[in-house]
Protein backbone atom coordinates (compact mmCIF):
# COMPACT_ATOMS: atom_id res chain seq x y z
CA UNK A 1 0.00 0.00 0.00
CA UNK A 2 1.59 3.24 -1.12
CA UNK A 3 1.71 6.47 0.83
CA UNK A 4 -0.02 8.27 -2.06
CA UNK A 5 -2.90 5.78 -1.92
CA UNK A 6 -3.37 6.28 1.83
CA UNK A 7 -3.25 10.09 1.55
CA UNK A 8 -5.67 10.26 -1.38
CA UNK A 9 -8.04 7.75 0.21
CA UNK A 10 -8.13 9.57 3.56
CA UNK A 11 -8.62 12.89 1.73
CA UNK A 12 -11.47 11.38 -0.28
CA UNK A 13 -13.08 10.00 2.87
CA UNK A 14 -12.79 13.37 4.61
CA UNK A 15 -14.29 15.19 1.63
CA UNK A 16 -17.16 12.71 1.24
CA UNK A 17 -17.75 12.81 5.00
CA UNK A 18 -17.83 16.61 5.00
CA UNK A 19 -20.27 16.57 2.09
CA UNK A 20 -22.45 13.99 3.87
CA UNK A 21 -22.49 16.00 7.10
CA UNK A 22 -23.34 19.19 5.20
CA UNK A 23 -26.21 17.45 3.46
CA UNK A 24 -27.54 15.81 6.61
CA UNK A 25 -27.29 19.09 8.54
CA UNK A 26 -29.15 20.76 5.66
CA UNK A 27 -26.56 23.49 5.28
CA UNK A 28 -28.02 26.40 3.31
CA UNK A 29 -25.18 26.37 0.75
CA UNK A 30 -26.03 22.73 -0.04
CA UNK A 31 -29.82 22.84 0.14
CA UNK A 32 -30.37 25.90 -2.06
CA UNK A 33 -28.52 24.54 -5.12
CA UNK A 34 -30.11 21.10 -4.73
CA UNK A 35 -33.55 22.71 -4.72
CA UNK A 36 -32.54 24.77 -7.77
CA UNK A 37 -31.52 21.56 -9.56
CA UNK A 38 -34.91 20.03 -8.85
CA UNK A 39 -33.74 17.47 -6.28
CA UNK A 40 -36.58 16.69 -3.84
CA UNK A 41 -35.64 17.65 -0.29
CA UNK A 42 -37.06 14.31 0.87
CA UNK A 43 -34.01 12.69 -0.77
CA UNK A 44 -31.53 14.50 1.51
CA UNK A 45 -31.26 11.78 4.18
CA UNK A 46 -30.62 9.15 1.50
CA UNK A 47 -28.08 11.28 -0.34
CA UNK A 48 -26.26 12.11 2.89
CA UNK A 49 -26.29 8.47 3.97
CA UNK A 50 -24.87 7.36 0.61
CA UNK A 51 -21.97 9.81 0.91
CA UNK A 52 -21.37 8.83 4.53
CA UNK A 53 -21.31 5.15 3.60
CA UNK A 54 -18.82 5.91 0.84
CA UNK A 55 -16.58 7.81 3.25
CA UNK A 56 -16.62 4.98 5.79
CA UNK A 57 -16.09 2.43 3.04
CA UNK A 58 -12.99 4.22 1.78
CA UNK A 59 -11.48 4.14 5.27
CA UNK A 60 -12.42 0.48 5.81
CA UNK A 61 -10.80 -0.17 2.44
CA UNK A 62 -7.43 0.67 3.91
CA UNK A 63 -7.72 -2.64 5.82
CA UNK A 64 -10.07 -4.55 3.48
CA UNK A 65 -9.21 -3.46 -0.07
CA UNK A 66 -12.33 -4.86 -1.76
CA UNK A 67 -14.51 -2.65 0.47
CA UNK A 68 -12.47 0.40 -0.53
CA UNK A 69 -12.80 -0.43 -4.21
CA UNK A 70 -16.57 -0.85 -3.89
CA UNK A 71 -16.86 2.39 -1.91
CA UNK A 72 -14.75 4.21 -4.48
CA UNK A 73 -16.92 2.92 -7.31
CA UNK A 74 -20.03 3.93 -5.38
CA UNK A 75 -18.73 7.45 -4.80
CA UNK A 76 -17.71 7.85 -8.44
CA UNK A 77 -21.20 6.76 -9.53
CA UNK A 78 -22.81 9.05 -6.94
CA UNK A 79 -20.88 12.11 -8.07
CA UNK A 80 -21.35 11.20 -11.75
CA UNK A 81 -25.07 11.30 -11.01
CA UNK A 82 -24.56 14.67 -9.35
CA UNK A 83 -22.80 15.96 -12.48
CA UNK A 84 -25.68 14.67 -14.62
CA UNK A 85 -28.20 16.37 -12.32
CA UNK A 86 -26.37 19.70 -12.55
CA UNK A 87 -26.13 19.43 -16.34
CA UNK A 88 -29.81 18.45 -16.63
CA UNK A 89 -30.68 21.56 -14.58
CA UNK A 90 -28.50 23.60 -16.97
CA UNK A 91 -26.32 25.04 -14.17
CA UNK A 92 -23.14 24.46 -16.12
CA UNK A 93 -21.03 26.72 -13.90
CA UNK A 94 -21.73 24.33 -11.00
CA UNK A 95 -20.36 21.20 -12.74
CA UNK A 96 -16.88 21.56 -11.16
CA UNK A 97 -18.26 21.12 -7.63
CA UNK A 98 -19.27 17.44 -7.85
CA UNK A 99 -16.18 16.78 -9.98
CA UNK A 100 -14.04 18.15 -7.15
CA UNK A 101 -15.55 15.62 -4.75
CA UNK A 102 -15.30 12.82 -7.31
CA UNK A 103 -11.59 13.36 -8.00
CA UNK A 104 -10.16 11.72 -4.85
CA UNK A 105 -12.44 8.70 -5.31
CA UNK A 106 -11.16 8.28 -8.87
CA UNK A 107 -7.57 8.77 -7.74
CA UNK A 108 -8.03 6.25 -4.94
CA UNK A 109 -9.28 3.67 -7.45
CA UNK A 110 -6.35 4.45 -9.74
CA UNK A 111 -3.82 3.99 -6.93
CA UNK A 112 -5.26 0.88 -5.26
CA UNK A 113 -3.20 -2.23 -5.51
The residues spanned by each domain of the chain are: 3-111
Q: Could you read off the pLDDT of 34-90 as tens digits, one per residue?
A: 999 999 999 999 999 999 999 999 999 999 999 999 999 999 999 999 999 999 999
- Spatial separation of the C-alpha atoms in residues 35 and 111, rounded to whole Å: 35
Residue 20: band (very low, low, confident or very high) from pLDDT cuts 50, 70, 90 = very high
Q: What's the CA dihedral at 39, 42, 43, 48 to 10 degrees?
A: 120
Q: In the prediction, which pLDDT does 1 show?
A: 77
- Spatial separation of the C-alpha atoms in residues 90 and 73, rounded to whole Å: 26
Q: In the prediction, which pLDDT does 15 show?
A: 97
Can you give the pTM of this predicted structure? 0.92
* pLDDT higher than 90, residue 113: no
Q: Across residues 80-108, what is the average pLDDT? A: 96
Q: For 23-92, give the DSSP string.
A: HHTT-HHHHHHHHHHT--GGGHHHHHHHHHHHHHHHHHTTTSHHHHHHHHHHHHHHHHHHHHHHHHTT-G
Amino acid sequence: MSTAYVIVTVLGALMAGFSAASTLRRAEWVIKPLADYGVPLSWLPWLGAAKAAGAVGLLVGLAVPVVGVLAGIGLVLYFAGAVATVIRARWFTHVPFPLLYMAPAVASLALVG
